[in-house]
C-alpha cells in the first residue's frame, strides 16, 4: 500500500530526490545467505549512469553505492552475505549545480509532472522534479542487482529495439554487442549504431527529443511462477515497467500483434523436449500463460515517450494562472529511452524474484 | 499481497471457479453512505453476460447477483446504503453442464493455462479452467459497479476499436451506439457492425478465433490522483487491465505511438480555460502526467489475444508426457475481446476509486 | 491494508453482519494439496456455536458451513483437496428474530461500539451490532480450521483459566477434559466446574456479566518462525487475539509477571536434549525469543471484559443528544469469554500458518 | 507484508544493525505540508539516547539524525515542510567498540534471540544482536516524532509505572515531572525516584536486571478512528507495542482487571458534556470501544522483561551443540524498560497517525 514500495516478499522501498543530499533504497525480504559484492551492484549502476556519451545527460555523478545494512562480510573481506534483514543502499547526490529556479519554480513545463504534482500535493520540490526525477531510477538498478541473485540460473537482459522512426534489424541481434564500448544505445544490432547516431545527432542539434522501444528478456525462469488472477506474472512485470518514467505502453510476447492474428497462428504448440521436459515450439505468449511462467524466455516490450525537456518553446501556464511559453534549458537526454534499458532489467528481475519467493512460500514447490 | 485481491483502500477480493456452486467478491473499504440498488449492479452484469448473440459463448447463466453484507436498506425498500463494512456479492453457477472431462483433464490445451497451472500447484481444477476461467470476471464487473459510485461525477466507458485485421473508423465514434440493441460488438462505429459481423462469422464458421483491441475512457476524474513513482495511476490502470484474461498489451494515451514521435509533437500544451481553470490543448498523455491525473479524460487501450479454444487441432502433450493433438469442442467465443469491454470499464473504475480514497487519505485535498 | 483481512500469505478476509442473509470468509494463499473434510470445519464451528448451555446465548443457529470454492473433491467423495485458489466459506444466518429495534437504533449502549461505530461511519446497522457482532467470529473459526492443516504436526488448544474472581487450579490441568460433555466452560480443571457453575449462575440471575482469562497453547511449532522486528510472531499472535471482541489485554509466556522478576529468574536456560537437539529448561518466554519461535510450546493469554449487555440500567445518551438510561434485554452470554476459547485457537493457528508460509518463502528453510 | 515495515498509510520502514555504518528509517505516506524542524526529531531522539545516567547503557552515541529526503526547506532556513514523498532519516553508528566476538559469536545467550535468529536465517550478525538490537528503536523514535505532527491536537505521553517489585503511587502522578533533570526513570511520581534509585542500584551492583511496566496515554485523539474487526485501533496499538524489544504483555484501559469485574462496574456511562458533546463518566475502556476511538484519552500499558544480559552465568549451548555457561559482560541497562518510554510514545503516535489517514481516506469525515 505504499506509494514508494514495490514487491511483496522481495520488497523494494525507494526514497530521495535529485536535489537532496542522497537517494537510496531499502530491500526487504531478501533471502539470507545470498553472496554478492559491492562491485556487483556498482557495475549495474555504472551501466545506467548518465554522462557516458553525448546522447545521455551530462550530469556527472559517480553514483557510488554504499551498502549500509543487511549484510555480513565474508572472510575474504569483499564478498557480502545477506542476513535476511533489510539491505539499505545509499547513493549521494554530488552534482547539484546551484542555479536560479525562480522561473521553473512557478511555471509548469508541458509534458512534465509539474502541474499534476503540485495539484496533488499543494507544493512540490521544483529543484529537479522531486520524485519524478529520472535520478530515482538509480535506486531501482541497485535493488535489481540484488534481485538477479535471488533466482538461481536467471539472466535478465534488455535492448533498445527502436528509436523514433528507426528500428533495429532483428536478424542482426547480438546480445554481446550490447555491452560493447562502441555501442552508446544498448542496441543489439551492430549495424544500427551508425543509423541511430546520425538520427539522434540531428534530434539533439535541433533541441528536440525522441522516444524509444525497449525489449526485456528473462531466461532461466522456472515454470510455475505467477498466479492466475490478480498477481499474474505478466501483470506485475507490466506494472513494474509502467512505473518507469515516461513509459506509455507495455506488451508481453507478441503483444498488440496478438490482437490481429487468429487462434491457430497465436497458439504456441507443445512437444516433449529431448531432455524429457515439455517445450514450446514458439513463444508468442512471451513465456507466460494464464499469468504463470511456462519456462520459456519471458519477453516484454515497452514504449518510452520523448523527453519533454526540449528547446522549442511550448505554451503553458504558471501557478498564478498566467499563460506563458516554456522552454527547458540545461542537461537533458535527447532520448531518455536509452537509459531505460538497465532500469527495465532491474524492474523485471525484481518482479520475478518476488514471485519466486511467493511461489516458494505458498507451494513449497521450489 | 494476495493473489486474489486488488486495490488498497478500495479493495476487491474475488473467489470461485466456473464449476463450483458459486463465484463472488468481497469489496472492502467502500466509503459509508453510498447509495445504490441491486439493479445498478445487475445492469452491469447483464452487459457482460454470455449468451446474448451468436458471437459470444452460449453458456446461459442468469448471473443474478446477491448482496450479502455491508449495506442497510433505505426506507424505500430498494435503495441500499453502504455501511463502510465489506460488501459481499455472490453469483450462483447454474449452468454447469455435466460432461466427460476425462481427456481434457489430462491434456494441456495450447494457449491455455492448463500446463502452467498444473506446474504451479501440482493439481488443477480441470472442469473449466479453475480461476483462469473467464467466468471469474463477472465478479469484477459487480465490484466495478460499486466503484463507479465512489468518485463523484466520474464516468467510465469502453469500446472495441479493432477486431483482428479490422478497425473502426474513429470519425464515426458514437458513444451512445455502444448500448444499441443492434450492436453485438460494443463498437462505437455504427458502420463497423456489418464489417465485424461478416468478418467474425467467417472466423466462427472456420472454428477459428481472433483478437481485439479495446479502448477505455474515464471522464470526470479530478486532477491529482495517483503518485509519482510506484503507485502511478497509469501503472495501476495497466496492471488492472493486464489482469484480465488474454490481455497481452496495454497503453496509455498515445501509447506506443509516443515512441515514434518527437518531444514537440508529443507535449500537450496548456492554456487557461474560459472557466478559469487550466486545460490541455491535446491529450497525448491520456490524462496522466508523471503518474498523476491531469483532469483530462483518462484513455487506456489494450490488446486481447484470440481465444485459444479453436476447432483446428494443435500439437500438445498430456500430463504423462505423451504427445497429443488437442482441439477444443464446446461453447466458446470466436472473439473473447468483445466481452472484455464491460470488464475493462470495471477494472479502470476500481483503480480510480482506489486512488481517489488514497489521495483523500494522504492529502485531505478532496 | 484491509480493515477486514488478516494475514499475509495465509490471508483471511471475513464479511457479514448478524442480520444479513449470511456471513463468510475467503481464505487466500492456502497451499495446494491440503486434504480436509467439510466435517473438519464443521466440528470447530460446533465448538463455538451458541445455544449449547445456559451459560451461552440462546440464539440457535445451526452454523452449517458451505464451502464454495478453492477445492477439488477427492475420489472418496468426502475429502476435499485445496487447489491453491481462494477457499470461500459461507454460513447462513437463520435465526434473525424480528423485533423492534426502534429504541436501540437510537440509543448508545454503554460499553458497546454503538457510539463509536456511528461516529466513524455516520450510520450503523443497529440490528445486532453490525461487524462488531460476536457472530462474525464464526468465520474466523472456519478459517482457523484450515490453518491448522497448514503446519504439519501443529496442535493449537485453548482453555479458560479464570472467570471473574475465580481461577482454576493449574495442578489439575487436564487437556482432555476440555471437550468433556460435562464441561460447559472449556476449563481444563475438572474441579472448577462446580465453582464456575455456581458463580456464573449467580451472575446470570443478577442480570450481570463477568470477564474471563483464556490461555492458548500451540505445540509442534518449528523453531525459526517469525521475524525480529515488526513481524514478530508474538506481536502477530497478540494482534490476532486483540482483534477478538471484548479482549482488553494479551500476554506471551509469563507476560506481565516478567516485569516483576529479575533477569536470572526470567532467562530460560538451554541444554542439549537426549535427541541431540537443543531444549529449554523452562519456558518463561512462551516459546518465542526476539520475535522468533524457539520450538517450545507457544503460550499466550488474554483477558476478556464482561459483556456490556446487562439488565442493570446504565446512563447513556441517544443519537439526538438526549440523556437516557439503557438496559439490554434479550439473548446474551453472562460470560462471553467462554466462547472466546475456540476463536482464540483459530486466531493463533492462522497467525502461525501465515508465518510458516512467510518463513518458507523468504528462507526456503522448511 | 514486510518484516521491517509497519503502518498502512503512515508507513514506516526501518533498517540497520548496531554494528553497521548506520541505521535509519523511511517514512512513507506522510501528508504534504507538515512543518517541523530537525530539532523536533532530535529532541525525541535525545530522550531515548543511552548514556544519560548510570541506569542506562553507557554506549555513547550522539544519535544525530540526518533528514535525507521528502522535505523542502522553508524560507526561514530551519523549518522543513514535508512534500508528501518518503522522508528518509539516517543515524550514524559512531560507537562501535572493536572487541573480540569470538565466543559470543558461537554461544547462544539465554533469553536473547541468538538461537532463534540463527535457526531462522542460518546465520546471524553476532556483532550486537543484528536487527534485535535495541539500537534499532532509535529509528522508531524519529518516525514517531513526525507522526505526532500528523494528528492535529494530539499529544502522546508515557511513563514508567512499575519497576520490578516497586510501583509508583498514582496519587502523585505529575506529567511535568517526567522530563525533569532529576528524573532518570521517566516516572511520573516524584517520590518514587529515591525508591527506584536505591532499588536499581542494588540490581545493577548485583549484575542483575529487572523488568518494568510502562503506561502510554494519547490525548486529543478524535472519536471514530479504528475499525470494528481486524484493524481495531487497540489491536494495532498493541501490535506496535509488542514489536518493541522485550515486551511480553500489553493491555488497553483497565486491561486484565476487566476480566475480574462485572459488566456494571466495567461499563463507562455516558452523559452530554457542558460543551454539548458526548462524554464518558469513566474510561475503563481506555478510549477505545469496539476497536474505534471514543474521544477519551487512549490508555495502554505494557510489560518489559528484565534484560537478559546479566553477570550471573546461565546454562546454554553453543552452535556446535556443546553445553556452555554464558555470562554477558559489557554495557547493559539494568532495566531496559526505562528507555522503552519514548519508544512506546513513538509507536502509539505512529499507530494513531496511520488510522487518522485511513479514516480520512475511507470516510472523508475528518
Q: What is the pLDDT of residue C125?
A: 79
> Residues of C comprising the binding site for NADP(+)?
48, 54
Chain D nearest CA to B323, separation (Å): 42
Q: What is the pLDDT of residue B297?
A: 98
Report whether D131 contacts C228 (CB < 8 A): yes
- Would you call D362 and B1 a contact, using CB atoms and an 8 Å cutoff? no
- Would you call A228 and B132 a contact, using CB atoms and an 8 Å cutoff? yes
Cell for A233? 506474472
Handedness of CA D244, D247, D249, D253 (dihedral sign): negative
pLDDT at D346 over 70: yes
Report whether D308 contacts D115 (CB < 8 A): no
Q: Residues of B with CB below 8 A from A4's CB?
A: 227, 229-231
Size of chain C in residues: 366
Q: What is the pLDDT of residue B80?
A: 97
Q: Give me the mean pLDDT over the A80-97 stretch.
A: 90
Phi-psi sector, A167: left (phi>0), alpha (psi -120 to 50), beta: beta
Q: Give me the mean pLDDT over the B92-121 stretch.
A: 82
- Would you call C16 and B86 a contact, using CB atoms and an 8 Å cutoff? yes
D258 is in an annotated binding site: no
pLDDT at A93 over 90: yes
Q: What is the pLDDT of residues A317-349, one digit of tens each?
A: 999 999 999 987 766 789 999 999 999 999 999
Q: What is the pLDDT of residue B199?
A: 97
pLDDT at B155 over 60: yes
- The residue behind cell 541497562 is D333
- Would you call D232 and C242 a contact, using CB atoms and an 8 Å cutoff? yes
Q: What is the DSSP letter of B295?
A: S
Task: Write the residue in C11, C29, C83 that is nearest to B130 by C-beta.
Answer: C83
> Residues of B comprising the binding site for FMN?
131-133, 245-246, 290, 305-309, 331
Query: By CB neighbour count within 10 A (0-12 exposed, 13-18 middle, 19+ buried), where does B304 fall?
Result: buried
More confident residue, D156 or B106: D156
- On whether any CB of chain D is under 8 Å from the CB of C131, the answer is yes
What's the pTM value of the predicted model, to 2 decimals? 0.96
Report whether C358 contacts C148 (CB < 8 A): no
Q: In terms of Cα–Cα distance, which of D352, D301, D296, D256 is closest to C110?
A: D296
Given pLDDT bands bounded at 50, 70 and 90, which one contains residue D49? confident
pLDDT at D78 over 90: yes
Portion of chain D with pLDDT greater than 70, in percent = 94
Q: What is the pLDDT of residue B51?
A: 60
Q: Residues of A with CB below 8 A from C358's CB?
A: 9, 361
Q: What is the pLDDT of residues A51-78, one digit of tens each?
A: 667 776 655 678 899 999 999 999 888 9
- On whether any CB of chain A is under 8 Å from the CB of C84, the answer is yes
Q: What is the pLDDT of residue C279?
A: 93
- On whether any CB of chain C is under 8 Å from the CB of A262, the answer is no
Q: What is the pLDDT of residue B366?
A: 84
Phi, psi (5° rounding) for residue D357?
A: -70, -40
Given pLDDT bands bounded at 50, 70 and 90, which one contains residue A167? very high
Q: What is the pLDDT of residue D309?
A: 84
Phi, psi (5° rounding) for residue A144?
A: -65, -35
Portion of chain D with pLDDT greater than 90, in percent = 79
- Would you call C308 and D266 a contact, using CB atoms and an 8 Å cutoff? yes
Tell me how far apart the alpha carbons of residues B239 and B27 are, in angstroms, rounded to a whole number.
18
Start-end of H helices in C77-191: 102-106, 114-121, 137-150
Q: What is the pLDDT of residues D109-138, one digit of tens each?
A: 988 999 999 999 999 877 778 898 889 999
Q: Residues of C with CB below 8 A from B8's CB?
A: 1
Given pLDDT bands bounded at 50, 70 and 90, which one contains residue A97? low
Q: What is the pLDDT of residue B254?
A: 98
Q: Residues of B with CB below 8 A from A317's CB?
A: 270-272, 278
Interface test with A, best of B18, B132, B248 (most A CBs within 10 A): B248
Q: What is the pLDDT of residues C235-282, one digit of tens each?
A: 999 999 999 999 999 999 999 999 999 999 999 999 999 888 899 999
pLDDT at B340 over 90: yes
pLDDT at D195 over 70: yes
Q: Give me the mean pLDDT over the B327-335 stretch.
A: 77
- On whether any CB of chain C is under 8 Å from the CB of A171, the answer is no
Print the SS3 string covering chain A.
Answer: CCCCEECCCCEEEEEECCCCCEEEEEEECCCCCCEEEHHHHHHHHHHHCCCCCCCCCCCCCCCCEEECCCEEECCCCCEEEECCCCEEEEEECCCCCCCCCHHHHHECCCCCCHHHHHHHHCCCCCCCCHHHCHHHHHHHHHHHHHHHHHCCCCEEEEEEEEECCEECCHHHCCHHHHHCCCCCCCCCCCCHHHHHHHHHHHHHHCCCCECEEEEEEEECCCCCCECCCCCCHHHHHHHHHHCCCCEEEEEECCHHHHHHCEHHHHCCCEEECCCCCEEECCCCCCCEECCEECCCCEEEEEEECCCCCCCCCEEEEECCCCEEEECCCCCCCCCCCCCHHHHHHHHHHHHHHHHHHHHHHHHCCC
- Would you call D120 and C307 a contact, using CB atoms and an 8 Å cutoff? no
- On whether any CB of chain D is under 8 Å from the CB of C139, the answer is no
Task: Write the residue in D1, D31, D32 that is nearest to B1 by C-beta.
Answer: D1
Phi-psi sector, C39: left (phi>0), alpha (psi -120 to 50), beta: alpha
Q: CA separation (Å) from D263 to A71, A149, C305, D127, D258?
A: 54, 59, 8, 52, 9
Q: Please identify every stretch of chain C with a pLDDT value under 70, giving residue numbers as ranges.
A: 1, 50-52, 56-60, 95-103, 330-331
- On whether any CB of chain B is under 8 Å from the CB of D152, the answer is no
Max Cα–Cα distance, chain C, nearest Å: 70
- On whether any CB of chain B is under 8 Å from the CB of C282, the answer is no
Task: Write the residue in D9, D119, D308 that is nearest to C263 by C-beta.
Answer: D308
pLDDT at D1 over 60: no
Chain C nearest CA to D98, separation (Å): 24
Q: Residues of B with CB below 8 A from A315's CB?
A: 269-271, 281
Q: What is the pLDDT of residue D311?
A: 87
Tell me how far apart the alpha carbons of residues B320 and B92 are, in angstroms, rounded to a whole number.
34
Task: Write the residue in C3, C17, C72 that is nearest to B125 by C-beta.
Answer: C72
More confident residue, A364 or B99: A364
Portion of chain A with pLDDT greater than 70, in percent = 94
Helix axis angle, D114-121 relative to C340-363, nearest 10°?
A: 60
Strand order in the sheet with A11-16: A5-6, A11-16, A22-28, A87-92, A65-67
- The residue behind cell 489491536 is D235
- On whether any CB of chain B is under 8 Å from the CB of D2, the answer is no
Q: CA separation (Å) from C49 to B329, C36, C54?
A: 48, 21, 13
- On whether any CB of chain C is under 8 Å from the CB of D187, the answer is no
More confident residue, D48 or C259: C259
Q: Give me the mean pLDDT over the A18-37 stretch.
A: 96
Q: In terms of Cα–Cα distance, which of B67, B53, B328, B2 is closest to B183?
A: B53
Q: What is the pLDDT of residue B331?
A: 60
Tell me how far apart the alpha carbons of residues D313 and C349 are, in angstroms, rounded to a whole number.
36
Interface test with B, best of A120, A245, A300 (most B CBs within 10 A): A120
Residue of chain D minimizing CA distance to B357: D361
Q: Give me the mean pLDDT over the D202-212 stretch.
A: 95
Query: Among residues 287-326 of chain C, which lie with CB inside 8 Å of chain D?
Result: 288-295, 303-310, 312, 314-317, 321, 323
> Residues of B comprising the binding site for NADP(+)?
48, 54
Q: What is the pLDDT of residue A156?
A: 98
pLDDT at A122 over 70: yes
Q: Residues of B with CB below 8 A from A253's CB?
A: 248
Q: Residues of B with CB below 8 A from D27's CB?
A: none
Q: Residues of A with CB below 8 A from C149's CB?
A: none
Q: Residues of A with CB below 8 A from D84's CB?
A: 120-121
Q: What is the pLDDT of residue D330?
A: 66
Q: What is the pLDDT of residue B311?
A: 87
Cell for D151? 494528528
Amino acid at each position: 500500500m505504499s506509494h514508494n514500495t514495490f514487491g511483496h516478499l522481495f520488497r523494494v522501498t525507494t526514497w530521495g530526490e535529485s536535489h537532496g543530499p542522497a537517494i537510496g533504497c531499502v530491500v526487504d525480504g531478501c533471502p539470507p545467505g545470498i553472496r554478492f559484492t559491492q562491485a556487483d551492484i556498482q557495475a549495474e549502476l555504472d551501466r545506467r549512469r548518465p554522462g557516458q556519451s553525448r546522447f545521455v545527460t551530462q550530469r556527472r555523478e559517480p553514483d557510488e553505492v554504499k551498502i549500509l545494512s543487511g549484510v555480513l562480510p565474508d572472510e575474504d573481506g569483499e564478498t557480502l552475505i545477506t542476513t535476511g534483514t533489510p539491505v539499505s543502499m545509499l547513493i549521494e547526490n554530488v552534482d547539484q549545480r546551484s542555479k536560479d529556479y525562480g522561473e521553473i519554480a512557478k511555471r509548469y513545463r508541458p509534458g512534465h509532472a509539474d502541474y499534476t504534482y503540485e495539484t496533488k500535493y499543494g507544493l512540490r520540490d521544483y529543484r529537479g522534479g522531486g520524485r519524478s526525477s529520472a535520478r530515482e531510477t538509480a535506486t531501482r538498478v541497485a535493488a535489481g542487482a540484488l534481485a538477479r541473485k535471488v533466482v538461481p540460473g536467471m539472466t535478465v537482459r534488455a535492448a533498445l529495439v527502436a528509436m523514433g522512426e528507426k528500428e533495429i534489424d532483428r536478424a542482426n541481434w547480438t546480445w554481446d554487442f550490447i555491452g560493447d564500448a562502441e555501442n552508446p544505445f544498448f542496441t543489439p544490432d551492430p549495424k544500427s549504431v551508425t543509423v541511430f547516431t546520425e538520427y539522434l545527432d540531428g534530434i539533439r542539434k535541433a533541441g528536440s527529443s525522441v522516444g524509444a522501444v525497449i525489449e526485456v528478456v528473462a531466461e532461466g525462469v522456472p515454470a510455475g511462477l505467477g498466479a492466475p488472477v490478480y498477481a499474474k506474472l505478466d501483470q506485475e512485470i507490466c506494472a513494474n515497467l509502467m512505473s518507469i518514467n515516461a513509459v506509455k505502453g507495455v506488451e508481453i510476447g507478441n503483444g498488440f500483434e496478438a490482437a490481429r492474428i487468429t487462434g491457430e497462428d497465436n497458439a504456441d504448440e507443445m512437444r516433449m523436449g529431448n531432455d524429457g521436459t515439455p517445450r514450446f515450439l514458439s513463444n508468442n505468449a512471451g513465456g507466460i500463460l494464464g499469468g504463470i511462467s511456462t519456462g520459456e524466455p519471458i519477453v516484454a516490450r515497452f514504449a518510452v515517450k520523448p523527453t519533454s525537456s526540449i528547446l522549442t518553446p511550448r505554451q503553458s501556464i504558471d501557478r498564478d494562472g498566467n499563460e506563458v511559453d516554456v522552454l527547458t534549458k540545461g542537461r537533458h537526454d535527447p532520448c531518455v529511452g536509452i537509459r531505460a534499458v538497465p532500469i527495465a532489467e532491474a524492474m523485471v528481475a525484481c518482479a520475478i524474484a518476488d514471485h519466486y519467493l511467493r511461489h516458494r512460500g505458498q507451494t513449497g514447490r521450489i
